[in-house]
Structure 1
Amino acid sequence: MNQNNLNGQELKVIRQNHNQFLKLTRDILGYLAIIAIFSFLSLMYFETFTSELPQESVVSEVSQ
């Protein structure tokens, strides 16, 4: 009886640790997704912003 009670408590602790691990993993994946979205958007913004400048300078050099 006492052994079964200990196993039940151990299972409860294992379940709590597993739930905490799943919550932590979910939070980390959420933060990584947010970082990925912002880095992608900033990359697209700077890519379009910097790709327009050399084209204008090349066009102005060719027209001269």
Structure 2
Amino acid sequence: MTDLENKAARQAAVIYTGISLGAVLLFLALTFLTGKTYTVVARVGGAVWVFILTLVVTMPIVIPKVKNKLMA
């Protein structure tokens, strides 16, 4: 891989990881704001699940967009 491809990969990783962490924070905020009592295991398990799913969904969307933007 060239330096430009490495830069695109790193930048894409930062973006989709940030999106996933934002989704986790939103999930955790919603679990506290609903007023229901959730166990710590439910909150942590849900947060991990949201992080993984969001990561899987955003990776194939973000990588080509960043790569096209930097390579153009």
TM-score by length of 2: 0.47
Say which structure is richer in helix.
1
Q: CA deviation at 1:15?
A: 0.3
Query: Is the radius of gyration larger for structure 1 or structure 2?
Result: 1
RMSD (CA atoms):
1.5
- Kindly indicate whether structure 1 or structure 2 has the higher relative contact order, using CA contacts under 8 Å at least 6 residues apart: 2
Q: 4+ residue stretches of structure 1 with deviation over 6 A?
A: none
TM-score by length of 1: 0.52
How many residue pairs match? The answer is 37
Structure 2 gap segments, 5+ residues each: 38-72
Structure 1 gap segments, 5+ residues each: 1-8, 48-64
